[in-house]
């Protein structure tokens, strides 16, 4: 792996504990029967979705980094793939959390657009990497 891919992987590995800490905070809210969490099914669903998407997309990005350097892509596109796959989990999970940050919220606020931005970044990175890998074979 190149230094750029190794550095991106290092950053992603450092982000994984934040997902674990967030999961612990969800369990803590359940254990102490926090009404701000338990009595709001939409907020609860968005919290779960935020953690699930963050964890899954970080693991996907780590796996994808093993292939970036082998893909037939320009250095600029390799940088873009690394960046978009690394930022996608952050934007997507932030959208889920921030759009329902208020304990009294019953529907998501305008920050839900961050989820869509994360999805676009993920799609760009995955499709670009896939095309680059198809070009090498």
Any long-range contacts for 93-100 (C-beta under 8 Å, 24+ apart)?
93/50, 93/51, 93/53, 93/54, 93/118, 94/50, 94/118, 95/50, 96/46, 96/47, 96/49, 96/50, 96/53, 97/46, 97/47, 97/50, 99/46, 100/42, 100/43, 100/46, 100/47
* Alpha-carbon span 64 to 47, nearest angstrom: 26
Q: pLDDT digit of tens for each residue in the chain (137 aa)?
A: 899 999 999 999 999 888 888 878 777 877 787 776 777 888 888 888 888 888 999 999 999 999 999 999 999 999 999 999 999 999 999 999 899 888 888 899 999 999 999 999 999 999 999 999 999 97
């Amino acid at each position: 792996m190149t230094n750029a891919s190794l550095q991106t992987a290092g950053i992603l590995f450092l982000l994984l504990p934040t997902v674990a800490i967030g999961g612990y905070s969800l369990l803590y809210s359940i254990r102490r029967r926090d009404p701000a969490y338990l009595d709001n099914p939409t907020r609860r669903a968005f919290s779960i979705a935020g953690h699930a998407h963050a964890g899954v997309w970080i693991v996907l990005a780590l796996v994808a980094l093993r292939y970036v350097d082998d893909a037939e892509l320009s250095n600029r596109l390799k940088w873009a793939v690394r960046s978009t796959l690394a930022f996608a989990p952050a934007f997507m999970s932030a959208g889920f959390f921030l759009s329902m940050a208020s304990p009294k919220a019953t529907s998501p606020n305008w920050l839900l657009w961050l989820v869509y931005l994360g999805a676009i970044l993920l799609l760009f990175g995955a499709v670009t990497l896939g095309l680059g890998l198809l070009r090498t074979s």
